[in-house]
């Protein structure tokens, strides 16, 4: 990857000769865990900034982090030798790694996996197929979303330019994933709003951009903007535009927020650049390792925060980490109902986070389901009190809390939406500013079921899907995620709506079985339908012959899984949603960058052998 140079607070970069340094927690108690954090090179400010994140996480979470990096770029052999020495020491609980290449650390990582110790891979990611072939288990991968970086630039231009404006894109080398994703995310977001008159490769080089852009301008005299997928090319394009006497006429955006680009943004010669935050990547890596070691569920992918830097927020391109000591915050956590096990578990997560982080979390919920008026009144009363610093909230509907949430925004209270996410169009229409949305990924839920079926069934086996009501986003995403993974490997002979109802599934499934006597599995997108399908399969005398899967892991479904009558169900973890909301709210209150959507963990529950 073409690495970035980031701004530091006044910090002198010193080339350290030692290959690894222990970043010991400052707390009085002995560190809870010993974690190896392996970066690329200490000669690159990107990884020096990453080290700052490791130091911060060690102090905040009372763990020992041993940081290691090479004195020079590209020392694959030295990086492997360092990791091998850590493995041989045998006293590390887990590892966070950023390899030079997709395979230079594989022999040591395979040994770590064989020992059952967790691995978190950040920034430069080892592809899943490479890891699988090498016998490596990577629990979580953490990186910036390059497609979203491109989309951020597209959104900015759509606010600045008229529809139909002519724009150009400068890409990196052919085959560069970062370039493809940044350009692709930009183009997808733009759609047909603009006329993309030129897409050319300048191979991440300033000189090539300087040579190419004059030709683009000459061929397209009405050009209004250029998106360069890295700052080096953006700076070359900026110089070409200046030489053509068009400074201020053609907007130029880049990606990486390197110091020279940020200076150009401040001077008004560059419109903007998308910043990454290696320090926050490091913190996320340590938080994830701690969660794994504590026995908490984690998601396999975490998006690191990025931010579009423009003239209005150049200060936010700088690396910032607060005092490791967490402030005296009070967070309001409003759920749906205290009579539902799901939200009782979420309450437990809020309480655990409050204890772990030393903050106050006040939980509120209604005695009964659907009390939209009571929930709104509770939030209004919290607003009136004026003693909350942030809200974690799960509304009954997309709009029942909007008036109180709008007031909270006006009062400067950050909002974090948990589980039932208010649709973006409703948010936009209401003018709400929601810092983070935290929810499970329903497409991933369907994909987990599909992967298990593919492992158990022969290619071409017949399967069926039971969906929820037409238009249900959860149903569509679970079914869609399943179908995407299955592809043409299984034969989907029936997709029918049972509207989340057990009785409908019980009525529909016999017809599916009769019409498809060779059917091998049924995926119901919630457990209620799965239990109805399971009963229909039992009545047909096909128990053990037709596999049935569901989603939600409600108690009756889990009992059926353990009894062997249901093949599996996908569990969500509301306690972890609550915990993550408090942890993320603290970051928001500290003024740190966060990603706008945080995926909550899920897991396929199968019978314990």
Mean pLDDT of 247-275: 94
> Rounded mean pLDDT of the chain?
92
Q: How far is CA 389 from CA 22, 302, 329, 384, 405, in A?
A: 35, 26, 6, 13, 13
Rounded to an integer, what distance in angstroms lies between the CA atom of residue 453 and that of residue 487? Answer: 12
Q: What are phi and psi of 305, to 5 degrees?
A: -70, 145
**pLDDT at position 9:** 32
Please state which CATH number belongs to domain 20-138+278-301: 3.40.50.2300
pLDDT > 50? residue 377: yes
Percent of the chain with pLDDT over 90: 82
Query: 49 versus 187: which is more confidently predicted?
Result: 187
pLDDT > 70? residue 27: no
DSSP state of 314: G
Beta bridge partner(s), residue 141: 121, 301
Closest to 399 in 3D by CA, of 377, 367, 430, 370: 430
Q: Determine what percent of the chain falls in helix, strand and coil, rounding each to the nearest 5.
A: 45, 20, 35
Closest to 581 in 3D by CA, of 401, 347, 233: 347
Closest to 210 in 3D by CA, of 270, 258, 166, 170: 170
Mean pLDDT of 270-276: 95
* Chain centroid offset of residue 340 CA: 28
**Structure tokens of 146?**
């390059």
- Helices and strands (H, E) in the chain, number of each type: 20, 25
How is 441-472 classified by DSSP, letter by letter?
A: -HHHHHHHHHHHHHHHS-TT-EEEEEE-STT-
**pLDDT at position 5:** 35
pLDDT > 60? residue 606: yes
**Helix ranges, 392-526 (H):** 402-410, 424-430, 442-456, 473-486, 502-515
pLDDT > 50? residue 17: no
pLDDT > 90? residue 452: yes
Rounded to an integer, what distance in angstroms lies between the CA atom of residue 247 and that of residue 269? Answer: 7
Pick the CATH number of 330-434+575-600 from 3.40.50.2000, 3.40.50.300, 3.40.50.2300, 3.40.190.10: 3.40.50.2300
**Structure tokens of 469?**
């009501």
pLDDT > 70? residue 373: yes
* Chain centroid offset of residue 382 CA: 30
Question: Model confidence at 1, in pLDDT bands (50, 70, 90)?
Answer: very low
Q: Are 63 and 25 in contact (CB under 8 A)?
A: yes
pLDDT, tens digit (0-9, with 9 covering 90-100), for 34-68: 999 999 988 877 888 899 999 999 999 999 999 99
Beta bridge partner(s), residue 103: none
Beta bridge partner(s), residue 494: 464
Q: Are 37 and 282 in contact (CB under 8 A)?
A: yes
Mean pLDDT of 211-220: 97
**pLDDT at position 21:** 64
Question: Model confidence at 28, in pLDDT bands (50, 70, 90)?
Answer: low
Q: Are 232 and 206 in contact (CB under 8 A)?
A: yes
**pLDDT at position 342:** 86
**pLDDT at position 369:** 83
Question: Model confidence at 340, in pLDDT bands (50, 70, 90)?
Answer: confident
Mean pLDDT of 68-73: 91
Beta bridge partner(s), residue 497: 467
**pLDDT at position 183:** 97
Mean pLDDT of 226-237: 95
DSSP state of 173: S
Question: Model confidence at 20, in pLDDT bands (50, 70, 90)?
Answer: low
Rounded to an integer, what distance in angstroms lies between the CA atom of residue 228 and that of residue 168? Answer: 8
**pLDDT at position 4:** 37
DSSP state of 413: -
**Structure tokens of 238?**
């900026």
* Chain centroid offset of residue 90 CA: 31
pLDDT, tens digit (0-9, with 9 covering 90-100), for 74-91: 899 999 999 999 999 999
pLDDT, tens digit (0-9, with 9 covering 90-100), for 410-423: 999 999 999 989 99
At the fourth CATH level, the homologous superfamily of domain 442-572 is: Response regulator (3.40.50.2300)
At the fourth CATH level, the homologous superfamily of domain 146-276 is: Response regulator (3.40.50.2300)
**pLDDT at position 23:** 67
Q: How far is CA 469 from CA 364, 496, 513, 539, in A?
A: 30, 10, 21, 25
Mean pLDDT of 292-319: 94
Q: Are 401 and 379 in contact (CB under 8 A)?
A: yes
Q: Which residue has the tokens 């733009």?
A: 190
pLDDT, tens digit (0-9, with 9 covering 90-100), for 388-400: 999 999 999 889 9
**pLDDT at position 124:** 84
Pairing of strands 94-97, 119-122: parallel
Three-class DSSP category at 336:
strand
Residue 30, classified by CB atoms within 10 Å of its CB into exposed (0-12), middle (13-18) or buried (19+), is exposed
- CB count within 10 Å of CB 506 equals 18
**pLDDT at position 29:** 74
pLDDT > 60? residue 170: yes
Closest to 275 in 3D by CA, of 259, 286, 292, 291: 259
**End-to-end alpha carbon distance in the chain:** 43
**pLDDT at position 437:** 96
pLDDT > 70? residue 435: yes
Residues ≥6 apart with Cβ < 8 Å to 131: 106, 109, 137, 138
pLDDT, tens digit (0-9, with 9 covering 90-100), for 522-556: 999 999 999 999 999 999 999 999 999 999 998 99
Q: State the pTM of this model.
A: 0.84
Domains 146-276 and 330-434+575-600 alike in fold: yes
**Structure tokens of 221?**
């005299």
Mean pLDDT of 561-587: 96
pLDDT, tens digit (0-9, with 9 covering 90-100), for 489-503: 999 999 999 999 999
Question: Model confidence at 208, in pLDDT bands (50, 70, 90)?
Answer: very high
pLDDT, tens digit (0-9, with 9 covering 90-100), for 137-162: 999 999 999 999 999 999 999 999 99
Query: 28 versus 67: which is more confidently predicted?
Result: 67
Domain ranges of the chain: 20-138+278-301, 146-276, 330-434+575-600, 442-572
């Amino acid at each position: 990857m073409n690495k970035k140079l980031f701004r530091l607070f006044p910090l002198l970069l010193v080339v350290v000769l030692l290959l690894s340094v222990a970043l010991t927690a400052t707390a009085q108690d002995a560190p809870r865990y010993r974690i190896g954090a392996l970066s690329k090179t200490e000669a690159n400010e990107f990884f020096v900034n990453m080290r700052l994140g490791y130091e911060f996480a060690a102090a905040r979470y009372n763990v020992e982090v041993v940081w290691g990096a090479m004195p020079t770029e590209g020392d694959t052999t030295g990086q492997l030798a360092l990791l091998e020495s850590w493995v041989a020491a045998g006293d590390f609980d887990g590892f966070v790694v950023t390899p030079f290449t997709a395979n230079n650390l594989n022999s040591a990582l395979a040994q770590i996996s064989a020992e059952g110790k967790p691995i978190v891979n950040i920034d430069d990611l080892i592809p899943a197929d490479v890891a699988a072939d090498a016998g490596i288990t990577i629990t979580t991968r953490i990186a910036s979303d390059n497609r979203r970086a491109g989309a951020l630039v597209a959104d900015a231009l759509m606010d600045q330019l008229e529809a139909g404006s002519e724009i150009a894109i400068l890409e990196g080398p052919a085959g560069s994933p970062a370039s493809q994703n940044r350009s692709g995310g930009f183009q997808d977001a733009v759609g047909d709003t603009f006329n993309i008159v030129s897409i050319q490769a300048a191979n991440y080089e300033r000189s090539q951009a300087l040579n190419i852009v004059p030709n683009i301008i000459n061929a397209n005299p009405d050009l209004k903007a250029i998106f360069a997928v890295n700052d080096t090319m953006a700076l070359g394009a900026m110089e070409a535009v200046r030489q053509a006497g068009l400074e201020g006429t053609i907007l130029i955006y880049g990606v990486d927020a390197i110091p020279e680009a940020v200076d150009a943004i401040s001077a008004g010669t560059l419109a903007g650049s998308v910043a990454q935050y290696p320090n926050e990547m490091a913190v996320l890596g340590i938080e994830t390792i701690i969660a794994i070691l504590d026995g908490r569920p984690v998601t396999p992918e975490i998006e690191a925060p990025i931010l579009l830097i423009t003239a209005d927020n150049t200060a936010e391109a700088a690396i910032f980490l607060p005092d490791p000591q967490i402030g005296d915050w009070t967070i309001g956590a409003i759920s749906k109902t205290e009579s539902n096990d799901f939200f009782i578990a979420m309450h437990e997560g809020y309480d655990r986070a409050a204890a772990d982080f030393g903050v106050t979390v006040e939980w509120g919920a209604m005695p009964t389901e659907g009390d939209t008026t009571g929930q709104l009144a509770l939030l209004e009363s919290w607003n009136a009190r004026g003693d909350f610093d942030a809200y974690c909230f799960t509304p009954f509907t997309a709009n029942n809390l909007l008036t109180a949430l709008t007031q909270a925004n006006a009062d400067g209270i950050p909002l974090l939406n948990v589980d039932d996410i208010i649709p973006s169009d409703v948010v936009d229409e209401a003018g709400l500013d929601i810092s983070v949305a935290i929810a499970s990924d329903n497409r991933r839920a369907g994909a987990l079921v599909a992967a298990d079926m593919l492992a158990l069934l022969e290619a071409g086996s017949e399967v069926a899907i039971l969906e929820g009501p037409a238009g249900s986003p959860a149903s569509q995403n679970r079914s869609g995620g399943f179908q995407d993974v299955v592809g043409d490997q299984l034969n989907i002979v029936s997709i029918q709506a049972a509207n989340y109802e057990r009785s409908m599934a019980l009525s529909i499934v016999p017809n599916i079985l009769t019409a498809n006597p060779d059917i091998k599995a049924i995926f119901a997108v919630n457990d209620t339908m799965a239990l109805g399908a399971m009963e229909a399969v039992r009545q047909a005398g096909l128990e053990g012959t037709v596999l049935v899967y569901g989603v939600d892991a409600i108690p009756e479904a889990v009992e059926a899984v353990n009894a062997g009558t249901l093949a599996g169900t996908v569990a969500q973890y509301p306690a972890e949603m609550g915990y993550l909301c408090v942890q993320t709210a603290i970051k928001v209150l500290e003024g740190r960058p966060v990603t706008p959507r945080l995926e909550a963990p899920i897991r396929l529950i199968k019978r314990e052998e």
